């Protein structure tokens, strides 16, 4: 007999949230949607409420929530509309909720993700900033409260699938030499370096393999996304920086690999479709069906690999530096990057200024120890202020 599991989707109108609901909709015998949340996408949220009829819908802004509340009532729905960060934390920790998909992009997703872990949920982690900014603190909360943590990033999910089922956080005990974290290289892998100064936001968001939001698309173009994933892998799998090797794999068919001390390399392959890792985590430890197109190896034909060029992708080097420095540096890196990407997308600075801003902010803020989530959020605020000061001087 299949037990119905109740799910909260944090960030339900984003690409991960939409894919999650696609998988959920195909398994009504397994899942019920308890709560949906979004930033300000009220119209999209209304359609999701009509389809899934959650108990709660949460938006960050009060005005957007007021509009949604009126429309929900007009549609005759029983959904209760809430707003604000406290409401995000509430629906992430509801007693009836079994699974929380943490798919809010950026630092805004940290508090509700912590709330889910603190109440022992199955946390499906797509918000990499939680691990980047507060990895050690978050992992302590997961362990202390008996939460189950399942990675949703295709790369980390692939690593999870390629590790032994009895993996307990010690790579050496299960014979792992290193993790091979694959990267597509983004849209500018072969672009002349001299041309990067003039690339547009539209070009940076044109990922060759994946359909993603603007912010993560730009992060892929700079390879900051991969740098953040290196930091995330460090905390998820207790891997030292030197045990995490980034490998550019343009086809995005191998999502990551694990190399063992006996020479074996295990990999997880599949078409680039986020519904695969989402379905894996939703059904874990079982497998559930999706409509993902099966992988046709004959059509793929070949698989290519190359080492990353740190001159072309300085953000990757900055991420390794932040990981090795520890303390507040990953939070500073992430905050400065968020401001930099937003500024680039707003045409307030060129693409090549993104790593310049991040490196300068890291140097100006300096390394400090962190012990609590409040320390992490304070580091985030200081870094954002320094980034905006840098931007004012740049302009």
- Same domain for 133 and 23: yes
Mean pLDDT across 50-70 = 97
CA distance 237 to 220: 22
Q: What is the pLDDT of residue 11?
A: 96
374 falls within a domain: yes
Q: Sorting pLDDT into bands at 50, 70 and 90, what band is 215?
A: confident
- Considering 264, 287, 318, which residue would you say is the last residue of a domain? 318
Q: Which domain holds residue 185?
A: 168-272+299-318
Q: What percent of the chain clears pLDDT 70, i.e. is strictly above it?
A: 99
281 falls within a domain: no
Burial environment of residue 371 by CB neighbours within 10 A (0 to 12, 13 to 18, 19 or more) = exposed
Mean pLDDT value across the chain: 94
- Comparing CA positions, the residue from 383, 348, 344 lying closest to residue 366 is 383
- Considering 119, 151, 183, which residue would you say is the last residue of a domain? 151
Model-level pTM greater than 0.85? yes
Q: What is the pLDDT of residue 2?
A: 82
- Same domain for 267 and 187: yes
- Phi and psi at residue 246, in whole multiples of 5°? -85, 130
Helix (H, G, I), strand (E, B) or coil at 48: helix
- What the block records as the tokens of 389 is 């000061």
- Same domain for 196 and 142: no
- Same domain for 44 and 142: yes
Q: In this structure, are residues 30 and 55 in contact, taking their beta carbons and an 8 Å threshold? A: no
Q: What is the pLDDT of residue 211?
A: 65
Burial environment of residue 173 by CB neighbours within 10 A (0 to 12, 13 to 18, 19 or more) = exposed
Q: Sorting pLDDT into bands at 50, 70 and 90, what band is 95?
A: very high
Q: Sorting pLDDT into bands at 50, 70 and 90, what band is 210?
A: low
- Same domain for 95 and 28: yes
Q: What is the CATH number of the domain that holds 373?
A: 1.10.1740.10
What does the DSSP assignment read for 221-287?
A: HHTHHHHHHHHHHHHHHT--GGGEEEEE-TT--EEEEEEETTS-EEEEE--S-THHHHHHHHHTTS-
- Same domain for 259 and 141: no
Mean pLDDT across 367-391 = 95
- Same domain for 313 and 227: yes
Q: In this structure, are residues 101 and 124 in contact, taking their beta carbons and an 8 Å threshold? A: yes
- Same domain for 72 and 174: no
Residue 238: CA atoms inside 13 Å, Cβ hemisphere, count?
12
CA distance 314 to 355: 6
Q: What is the pLDDT of residue 99?
A: 98
- Same domain for 102 and 77: yes
Q: Is 80 exceeded by the pLDDT of residue 265?
A: yes
- What the block records as the tokens of 116 is 């889910």
Specify the number of domains making up the chain. Answer: 3
Q: In this structure, are residues 45 and 68 in contact, taking their beta carbons and an 8 Å threshold? A: yes
Q: What is the pLDDT of residue 395?
A: 66
Burial environment of residue 209 by CB neighbours within 10 A (0 to 12, 13 to 18, 19 or more) = middle
- DSSP-derived letter for residue 106 is S
- Same domain for 248 and 144: no
Point out the least confidently predicted range of 72-81, 191-200, 240-249: 191-200
Mean pLDDT across 25-53 = 97
- Comparing CA positions, the residue from 23, 13, 14 lying closest to residue 99 is 23
269 beta partners: 254
- Same domain for 314 and 199: yes
36 falls within a domain: yes
Neighbours of 160 (CB within 10 A): 23
Q: In this structure, are residues 225 and 219 in contact, taking their beta carbons and an 8 Å threshold? A: yes
294 falls within a domain: no
278 falls within a domain: no
94 falls within a domain: yes
In total, the chain counts a number of residues equal to 395
139-192 pLDDT, tens digit per residue, is 999 999 999 999 999 999 999 999 998 898 899 999 999 999 999 998 999 999
């Amino acid at each position: 007999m299949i037990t119905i599991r109740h799910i909260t989707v944090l960030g339900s109108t984003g690409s991960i949230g939409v894919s999650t609901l696609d998988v959920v909709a195909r398994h009504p015998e397994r899942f019920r949607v308890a709560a949906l949340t979004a930033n300000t996408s009220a119209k999209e949220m209304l359609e999701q409420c009509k389809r899934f009829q959650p108990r709660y819908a949460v938006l960050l802004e009060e005005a957007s929530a007021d509009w949604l509340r009126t429309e929900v009532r007009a549609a005759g729905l029983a959904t209760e509309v809430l707003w604000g960060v406290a409401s995000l934390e509430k629906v992430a920790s509801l007693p009836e909720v079994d699974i929380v998909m943490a798919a809010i992009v950026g630092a805004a997703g940290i508090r509700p993700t912590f709330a889910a872990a603190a109440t022992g949920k199955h946390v499906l982690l797509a918000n990499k900033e939680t691990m980047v900014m507060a990895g050690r603190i978050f992992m302590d909360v997961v362990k202390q409260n008996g939460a189950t943590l399942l990675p949703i990033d295709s790369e980390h999910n692939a690593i999870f699938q390629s590790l032994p089922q009895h993996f307990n956080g010690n790579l050496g005990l299960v014979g792992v030499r290193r993790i091979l974290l694959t990267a597509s290289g983004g849209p500018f892998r072969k672009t002349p370096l001299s041309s990067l100064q003039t690339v547009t936001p539209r070009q940076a968001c044109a990922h060759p393999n994946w359909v993603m939001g603007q912010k993560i698309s730009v992060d892929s173009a700079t390879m900051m996304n991969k740098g953040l994933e290196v930091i995330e892998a460090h905390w998820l799998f207790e891997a030292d920086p030197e045990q995490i090797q980034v490998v550019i794999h343009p086809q995005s068919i191998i999502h990551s690999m694990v190399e063992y001390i006996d020479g074996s390399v295990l990999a997880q392959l599949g078409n680039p479709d986020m519904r695969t890792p989402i379905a894996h985590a939703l059904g874990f430890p079982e497998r559930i069906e999706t409509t993902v197109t099966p992988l046709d190896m004959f059509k793929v034909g070949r698989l290519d690999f190359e080492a990353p060029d740190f001159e072309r992708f300085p953000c990757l080097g900055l991420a390794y530096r932040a990981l090795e420095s520890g303390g507040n540096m990953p939070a500073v890196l992430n905050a400065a990057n968020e401001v930099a990407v937003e500024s680039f997308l707003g045409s307030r600075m060129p693409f090549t200024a993104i790593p310049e801003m991040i490196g300068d902010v890291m140097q100006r803020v300096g390394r400090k120890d962190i012990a609590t989530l409040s320390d992490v959020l304070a580091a985030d605020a200081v870094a954002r202020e320094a980034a905006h000061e840098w931007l004012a001087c740049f302009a």
